[in-house]
Each structure stands twice: as C-alpha cells, then as structure tokens.
Amino acid sequence: MAGMITGIDSAAVRAATEQVRAEIAEAAGRAGRDPAEVELLAAVKYIALEELGVLAAAGLTLVGENRAQELEAKAAAHPELRWHFIGQLQSRKVKQILPHAELIHSVASDSALRQLERHGTPETEILVEVNVAGEEGKAGIAADELGAFIERAPARVSGLMTMPPFSEDPEDSRRHFAALRDLAETHGLTRLSMGTSQDFAVAVEEGATIVRVGTRLYGA
C-alpha cells in the first residue's frame, strides 16, 4: 500500500519508545500520578504488516489501527500484540472489527450502537468519542448528549476518547483534555484515550490512561 513505512530499525524504535515512556513518567510525576496508570499505544496506520514484528521486538505490545481491513490482516498475522481500533468508526465495519480489537476507541453514532447490539457480546468494551471542542463536521458526540448516548449503548462503556483541534502548541490541547476528564468523572468512567505525538505529555498531566503515539516512535 502506498505510503506505508518499511525498513524500520528496531534499535531506533526501542530508543524512541524508552524516551516516550520516560516523558510519560515525568508527566505523571508532575500530576502526582503513577506512570503505570498510562498505557502507550503505538499507532500503526502507516506501518507495513511485515514491520510489526520489529515493533514487538522493540518492546511495544499495545497497537492501534485506523482501518478495519488492515486491522483484520495485521491482527491475524500478529496475535501476540494487543489490538485496539482507533480510527473513524463506520457502523458497517463493526462486525469486522469486533473479533480483533479488545477495545474500540471511536464509537460515536447510533448506527454503530445498533451494530454493537447485533454483533457484540456482554464482554464487548468501548470508548465513546466526544467532540469536546464542538468542531463543526468533526466526529464525536457532543458533551451535552453524552449521558443519553451512554444509556443507549449495548456494550460496556469504560471511558472516553477525543481528538482536540490540531495545534503546534501542546498547551492549546490542555483545556480539551481537562474537559474530557471532567466528563468521564461525571459519568463514572475510568479510561481516557487522549493525546498523540505532539501533546501526549499534557494529556497525561490531565488524566489520560491511553496515549496514541505514532510519529515520535517511528516517523509514522
């Protein structure tokens, strides 16, 4: 597939992974948190299937894929890795995703809820994507609609996910991460998927339990 990254150096990925984990620990320390509360998820959308073993060798065990077809192929080839689905969720892809992903980060439509009810199990766990910034045209449930959406969910909602507006300054994301944390606390949820390569440290300071990192690990 065009644009896929190959030829990844395991030693370089290991060094980058250790650096990111150190920054997570530092951010957790600043917030008075235990670094063990934060999972590092490697975003592998642009990583070729044949390179996934290199990531595992570098110490990465939790990975996230954005596309259902790629998730299916990659998870089948590398069952030793833990797989999450982190891309925009199309309801017609829910059935395809469920057997391979231990967690779906991006549930944000009633059509997806209907598919979860049809194809999920009592053990199915999801995160609800929230459009905390209220960006027009962006995926995610509005904050004031979250409670009703959770009540309609047939799967176990354990937390929330968000993608704030892109900014070169990580501090610009802080208020959005704090808003997601407050929503989670209001609804009794414990998992927060927030923060990517440019702002994961701020996300950890504001309560993230999963950070989704790509470019900092291998240039993806």
**pLDDT tens digit string along 84-116?**
999 999 999 999 999 999 999 999 999 999 999
Portion of the chain with pLDDT greater than 90, in percent? 90
Average pLDDT for 168-188: 97
Quick check: 220 pLDDT over 50? no
Quick check: 154 pLDDT over 80? yes
For residue range 111-151, list pLDDT tens digits in order.
Answer: 999 999 999 988 899 999 999 999 988 999 999 999 999 99
Kindly list the distances between the CA atom of residue 202 and the CA atoms of 1, 101, 170, 197, in Å, as whole numbers in the listed order: 33, 27, 7, 11
131: tokens are 């459009």
Identify which has the larger pLDDT, 199 or 56.
199
Residue 8: per-residue pLDDT: 87
Residue 84: per-residue pLDDT: 98
Q: How many angstroms separate the CA atoms of 145 and 94, rounded?
A: 22
Q: How many angstroms separate the CA atoms of 165 and 151, rounded?
A: 27
Average pLDDT for 2-30: 91
Residue 148: per-residue pLDDT: 98
CATH of 10-218, one of 3.30.2040.10, 3.20.20.10, 3.40.50.150, 3.20.20.140: 3.20.20.10
Residue 137: per-residue pLDDT: 85
Which amino acid is it at 111?
S
Q: Whole-number mean pLDDT of the chain?
A: 95
Closest CA to 68 of 86, 80, 53: 86
